[in-house]
Structure 1
Amino acid sequence: MKNLVFPDDAQFWYETLRSFGHITYGGADFGEVVSTSTRIVEGDYGSWHDEWLDTSDRVAAEARQALEKGHLVSARDGFLRASNYYRSAEFFLHGNPCDPRHHHAYDRSVECFHAAAALFTPRIEPVRIPYEGTTLPGYLYRVDTSAASRPTVIMHNGFDGTVEEMYFFGAMAGVERGYNILAFDGPGQPGPLHHDGLVFRPDWENVVGPVLDFALALPEVDGDRVALLGNSMGGLLAPRAAAFEHRLAAVVALDGVHDLGRAVTNIVPGDRDEAERRLRAASDPELDAQLEHLIAANPVMRWALNHGMYVMGAETPRAFGAAYLDYHLRDGIAEQITCPALVCEAAEDLFFAGQARQLYDSLTCPKTLLEFTAEEGADAHCQAGAQRLALARIYDWLDDTLHHRHAAG
């Protein structure tokens, strides 16, 4: 989709499109996104933060006033939008992990989401999921208060998104269709990273396992019909978990990713083996200089390398690249998935072009590929801007897949 704003900064445009996309489930209003984005200086992270924070504060204040006056629907809607806007405000600040601005905006995003969650019927319940001596933050979305056993989708975000954002990226779409939803943040994602310092780990099955244990103990969860959905980088993490966690009835990769290492080895001179050797080397001043040049010259690389250091706990761009090499479904991992798998593919994926098809081709389980195009307005990474369309197709597939499993049982 052509950049409508920020013509020279693909990353700023994608993050704007992301908010436009969240309009469909109440995460933004068109005029608020337009008025905010037109005030931002292109490429200026401080300007991005300041303008989105200003919008967030204004919307949150109006939501609080509505709540005080008993206008509960207006308050709920305002808190939802404010939560998403605060998420956007802190998005580009992770190059300095000690910057208090991104901690403030993140905490305000969570606070606003909690305020909105309490105003739903049934209430969206914040949960803490036991995990290796601590807990992971999440939310349980119930269709109703009957405690009836229902198909359930466990879902998580990816490289840079929050568990709160999953409301817009699939949780409410599932509730509308009769699914209970358990959404969570894992290590490397905002809640565990901000408050426990937990960085990403490649063996995601050891994250999903405890979450699945938690879900299966809930009376409203039909243990035979539990699916896992991963968004963005989650399109690699969720299939990775499904390869080793065979209690799942289905897995959805939104969008599919086969090998994160390709994203870094493709920017290093030489073949794959040489690129990996250089990334893992104790010292490579030439490559370090090349990566610093990329950060200065390319808006997407500037954000990705700085954010990547933050979420992987890496001290340099090259160390982040070396860590990324461990995130893949090669060497027979994808082939270990046995449950039905849905792989989504965006025609103009900004980050993982071609990887969805590569994942799909490597699968030996029952599999489906969903292709999204520019003609549909759905060609961007994770179908940002076409979420009603994408989620309709995803849940239709889940309906068919889990109904077949239920009928067979």
Structure 2
Amino acid sequence: MKQLLFEDDAQFWFETQRMFGHISYGGAEFGEVVVTASRIEPGDYDSWHDAWLSTAERLAGEAATAHPISARDAYLRASTYYRAAEFFLHGNPDDPRIDYAYDRSVECFHRVVESLPGVEPVEIPYDGQVLHGYFYRAPGAGPRPLLVMHNGFDGSSEELHFFGAAAGQERGYHVLAFDGPGQPSAIHHSGLVFRTDWEHVVGQVLDFALADPGVDPAKVALLGVSMGGVLAPRAAAFEPRLAAVVAVDGVFDAAGSVVGMLPWDREEIVRRANAAEDPEFDALLAGGKAENPVLRWATGHGRYVMGAATDREFLAKYFEYHLDGGVAERITCPVLVCEATDDLFFNGDAETPSEPRRLYERLTGPKTLLSFTTEEGADAHCHVGAQRLATARIYDWLDDTL
């Protein structure tokens, strides 16, 4: 889709698109997004925070005195805007604005959940702690299929309401949306950073979910969004209880999003990232961040969620998130690989296939590739401009598969 705002900052534009997409399920208003974006100075993280926080605070204030349905709608949009406010601040984890805006986002979403039939916050036992999420219970009696959902590098379990949780409930699915290690509730307040063996996480989530008598144990699927497109297939390779897995969008090697921003091949970057010292690489990264807004954001956020002290340490850790070494080939359940044809992060080039196609080509079991295009307005990363279209096609595939 043509870049309509922030023409020199692809990352600011994508995050704005993301909020436009949430309009589909009530998570934003077009006018609110446009007016708020118009107050932001391009490339200025403080300006971004201040604009979205102001809009969120205004809506939350209105919601506090509104009638029930009006309050629900306002709180849902306020939750989105609070989450947006702290999005670019993670390069300095001690910034008090992060927890304030994040906690207000969750608080507003909980106010919404109080008025949504069949939706409740849950705490999932995990390694002596808990993972936070939401259970969307489908109406009616009898065991139902379950879709377990998680986000990726930077998204939250609350945001999954718009990426398929609400859509699944109305289609007769139970949906369990959760934050795993490295994801918002786990990193903000428990200090749990990402881990490569995602099956360790999903296994404990399935233990929790399958204890519910309303879940059909033969019809449990897993869906991962964004970097979840490598995490969910990784879990499926080692978790036999899954009947299907969905990658939105498919990722074979997460570091594919970084390699194209640096002047070396993958092996050279890995070698230099793992070196005890590499002043040349450090200088290159510093210069790259000054020129490339995506790299600037990714390294700052990446240090936060990977538990890395430096940009090089983040890259060394990030390059471990892949499905090479026979992992993709281990997956035996049906896999739906989604692809955005103008993905900001995981597109290929004339010589390298896109990450979704790399994953699809390595799968040896039942598989489906689903491409979303410019003509459909769905070509952005995770189809943020076409969430009803995307969820419709995904759930139709799940219906047919399960």
Question: Does TM-score exceed 0.5, indicating one fold?
Answer: yes
2:249 maps to 1:252: no
Identify the residue that residue 399 of structure 1 maps to in structure 2: 399
Q: Equivalences for 1:199-210 in 2 at 5 Å?
A: 199-210=193-204
TM-score (norm 2): 0.97
Q: Equivalences for 1:260-299 in 2 at 5 Å?
A: 260-299=254-293
Identify the residue that residue 197 of structure 1 maps to in structure 2: 191
Identify the residue that residue 30 of structure 1 maps to in structure 2: 30
Identify the residue that residue 335 of structure 2 maps to in structure 1: 341
Over the aligned positions, Cα root-mean-square deviation in angstroms equals: 1.0
Q: Distance in 2 between matches of 1:275 and 1:49?
A: 32
> Partner of 2:149: helix, strand, or coil?
strand
**Residues 157 and 231, structure 1, Cα contact 8 Å, conserved in 2:** yes
2:77 maps to 1:81: yes
| Correspondent of 1:129 among 124, 129, 140 | 124
| Correspondent of 1:142 among 132, 137, 140 | 137
Identify the residue that residue 315 of structure 2 maps to in structure 1: 321
Identify the residue that residue 226 of structure 1 maps to in structure 2: 220
**Residues 256 and 355, structure 2, Cα contact 8 Å, conserved in 1:** no
AA of the residue aligned to 1:50:
D
Identify the residue that residue 116 of structure 2 maps to in structure 1: 120
| Correspondent of 2:103 among 87, 104, 107 | 107
Identify the residue that residue 406 of structure 1 maps to in structure 2: none
Q: Distance in 2 between matches of 1:59 and 1:225?
A: 40
AA of the residue aligned to 2:246:
V
CA offsets per residue over residues 280-309 of structure 1, 9 Å max, x none?
111111001000111111111110111111
CA offsets per residue over residues 257-282 of structure 1, 9 Å max, x none?
00013333444444332222111111
**Residues 337 and 363, structure 1, Cα contact 8 Å, conserved in 2:** yes
Q: Distance in 1 between matches of 2:111 and 2:312?
A: 40
> Partner of 2:222: helix, strand, or coil?
strand
Identify the residue that residue 46 of structure 1 maps to in structure 2: 46
Shift of residue 19, structure 1, vs aligned partner = 0.3
AA of the residue aligned to 1:191:
S
Q: Distance in 1 between matches of 2:374 and 2:63?
A: 36
CA offsets per residue over residues 353-403 of structure 1, 9 Å max, x none?
11000000100110000001001000000001111111100000000001x
Q: Distance in 2 between matches of 1:18 and 1:390?
A: 14
**Residues 265 and 276, structure 1, Cα contact 8 Å, conserved in 2:** no
**Residues 347 and 371, structure 1, Cα contact 8 Å, conserved in 2:** yes
Identify the residue that residue 405 of structure 1 maps to in structure 2: none
Q: Distance in 2 between matches of 1:38 and 1:264?
A: 29
TM-score (norm 1): 0.95
**Residues 147 and 219, structure 1, Cα contact 8 Å, conserved in 2:** no
AA of the residue aligned to 2:6:
F
Residues 43, 270 of structure 1: alpha-carbon distance in 2 compared, 3 angstrom cutoff: closer
**Residues 149 and 221, structure 1, Cα contact 8 Å, conserved in 2:** yes
Q: Distance in 2 between matches of 1:17 and 1:125?
A: 28
**Residues 244 and 333, structure 2, Cα contact 8 Å, conserved in 1:** yes
CA offsets per residue over residues 145-191 of structure 1, 9 Å max, x none?
x5531011000010001100000011001111111100000000010
Q: Distance in 1 between matches of 2:74 and 2:268?
A: 51
Q: Distance in 1 between matches of 2:155 and 2:147?
A: 18
Q: Distance in 1 between matches of 2:216 and 2:135?
A: 14
> Partner of 2:247: helix, strand, or coil?
strand
CA offsets per residue over residues 203-254 of structure 1, 9 Å max, x none?
0000000000000001111110000000000011000000000100100000
